[in-house]
Structure 1
Amino acid sequence: MNQNSQWYEGPLASFDTETTGVDVEQDRIVSAALLVQSAPGAPVQRSSWLADPGVPIPDGARAVHGITDEQVRAHGRPPTEVSTEIAVALAAQARAGVPLVVMNAPYDLTLLDRELRRHAGSTLAAHLAGAELLVVDPRVLDKHVDRYRKGRRTLTDLCAHYGVELAGAHDAGADAWAALQLVRVLGGRHRTALGELSPAELHLRQTAWHAAQARGLQAWFDRSGTQERVDRSWPLRPAA
């Protein structure tokens, strides 16, 4: 990336998982993808993983991503190998200073960390070994630049709103590719608010933006009498 270009015009990596459920502390990785693109329009390097999670895939999760127990038993690899390889690949991007796009980062990154703890006796931080993931979360960015827009903000919703094609939603590779394109659009469309920051500055500000967004959601839950608690941590929830 030349000195005068912005982060969204340069190298980006993008990470996504498909899992057995939505509980980051208990659920397991079923598939994952990491895409790397050096610039808009450049070829994309793709890495993908299929894991045998060691537990049955619930009907609800299978209905979302379409991966069956039979598929992971026949073609999936041990979760220790998969989680370790993913962590090594993410650490390589961190050392290279390449921003990592992760839609709803506290979900995917926390779940990966818990898989490493569960299966490999390690952590994501241990694999990073001091290198910093420069995370770009389109969900946080969109909520910051368009705070009062009504409606849901799933990847499908954001792609529709920003005119990004999402072909094959709930496939890890397809979702990672859509999220990568989405942040390029977000950065360009909101250049003053987002695009002119360095990746390190953007990461730091997202930490504060997410915390503020979480406080607002918690206040809404409290007013409505809902018992749900909102975690303010980003991009990784601390282990209990």
Structure 2
Amino acid sequence: MELKLKNPLVFFDLETTGINITRDRIIEISLLKVYPNGKEESRTRRINPEMPIPPESTAIHGITDEDVKDCPTFKQIAKSLSEMLEGCDMAGFNSSRFDVPMLAEEFLRAGVDFDISKRKFVDVQIIFHRKEQRTLEAAYSFYCNKKLENAHSAEADVIATYEVLKSQLDRYPDLENSVDSLSKEYSSFNNNVDLAGRIVLNESGVEVFNFGKHKGKPVSEVLKNEPSYYSWMMDGDFTLNTKQVLTKIRLREMNG
């Protein structure tokens, strides 16, 4: 089934130096941009992470320090990448928990604001896990009757994710062929205020902390009664996106 799109939909996958969003870096990004008229445009870039790639990460994706030593840094490609993503919705496999927060963090480090409020996200893994409870390789085999060659290659994974979503739409009549609907029902960002989910909206639409001793408490209330908590978070091992969101809330309350 072909996708019914209002905006271009970009399927993407990252290979990284590790899984710590705060400290690790992107070393490969693959994008498949699908336009509302069905046109497809793909691009894969290797990136110099400006840090050593751990052997355990190389063992997964096969990318070494030598492979990326002459590649551009993320900061060097950030502007052109942002322009390619402008006006697009996005989709990936396990993208809500890792790829989107990691990409947003890299953009912030490069001084480019990746505004999640301007786009919708579809995580194909969430659809898959709710329907079948498997991995990407199993999903590709189950839905597409194909063996996923070169798994953990960003390009192979992103193409497989695109094919899986189209097959999921064919298989499940209850899945609406609409990014609006898929994003609403199958994205973990629905209640997130920051990408990491440290701050979320409660049932009343109020921003509350989603971790630690103040879990469930309104952010504005905590910042008012315990101003030092803001400093603790700003000095802590939180993502730049989380710190940015926290600062926006603090400034809003101060100027309110």
> What corresponds to 1:114 in structure 2?
105
> What corresponds to 1:51 in structure 2?
47
Report the Cα distance in structure 2 between the residues aligned to 1:142 and 1:189, rounded to whole angstroms.
11
1:101 maps to 2:101: no
Report the Cα distance in structure 2 between the residues aligned to 1:124 and 1:35, rounded to whole angstroms.
18
> What corresponds to 2:185 in structure 1?
205
After the TM superposition, which parts of structure 1 deviate over 4 Å for at least 4 consecutive aligned residues?
Answer: 208-211
Shift in alpha-carbon separation, 1:204–1:177, aligned structure 2, 3 A: same
Aligned partner letter, 1:56: P
Match of 2:4 among 7, 27, 30: 7
Report the Cα distance in structure 2 between the residues aligned to 1:124 and 1:38, rounded to whole angstroms.
21
Identify the structure with the greater helix proportion. Answer: 1
> What corresponds to 1:217 in structure 2?
none
What's the CA shift string for 1:113-150, capped at 9, x where partnerless?
111222x123311xx7x632x3221111112234xx5x
The answer (yes or no) to whether the contact 1:35–1:46 under 8 Å persists in 2 is: yes
The answer (yes or no) to whether the contact 1:18–1:172 under 8 Å persists in 2 is: yes
> What corresponds to 1:123 in structure 2?
113
Secondary structure at 2:88 match in 1: helix
> What corresponds to 2:22 in structure 1?
25
Secondary structure at 2:118 match in 1: coil
Name which one, 1 or 2, has greater alpha-carbon Rg.
Answer: 2
Q: How does 1:131-150 map to 2 (within 5 A)?
A: 131-132=118-119, 134-146=120-132, 149=133
1:154 maps to 2:135: yes
Report the Cα distance in structure 2 between the residues aligned to 1:171 and 1:80, rounded to whole angstroms.
22
* TM-score of the superposed pair, with normalisation by structure 2: 0.65
Shift in alpha-carbon separation, 1:204–1:39, aligned structure 2, 3 A: closer
The answer (yes or no) to whether the contact 1:19–1:30 under 8 Å persists in 2 is: yes
1:90 maps to 2:85: yes
The answer (yes or no) to whether the contact 1:102–1:138 under 8 Å persists in 2 is: yes
Structure 1 vs Structure 2 CA RMSD: 3.2
The answer (yes or no) to whether the contact 1:50–1:82 under 8 Å persists in 2 is: no
* TM-score of the superposed pair, with normalisation by structure 1: 0.69
Shift in alpha-carbon separation, 1:37–1:207, aligned structure 2, 3 A: closer
The answer (yes or no) to whether the contact 2:92–2:124 under 8 Å persists in 1 is: yes
Aligned partner letter, 2:139: L
What's the CA shift string for 1:71-128, capped at 9, x where partnerless?
1113x1022023443333222424xxxxx3211112111001111222x123311xx7
Aligned partner letter, 2:62: G
Task: With a CA cutoff of 8 Å and minimum separation of 6, indicate the structure with the bigger relative contact order.
Answer: 1
Report the Cα distance in structure 2 between the residues aligned to 1:46 and 1:78, rounded to whole angstroms.
20
Matched residue count: 194
Q: How does 1:64-79 map to 2 (within 5 A)?
A: 64-74=60-70, 76-79=71-74
Report the Cα distance in structure 1 between the residues aligned to 2:154 and 2:188, rounded to whole angstroms.
28
Secondary structure at 1:24 match in 2: coil
Show structure 2 runs of 5+ residues with no match.
192-210, 212-239, 244-256
Aligned partner letter, 1:20: T
- Post-superposition shift, 1:197? 5.0
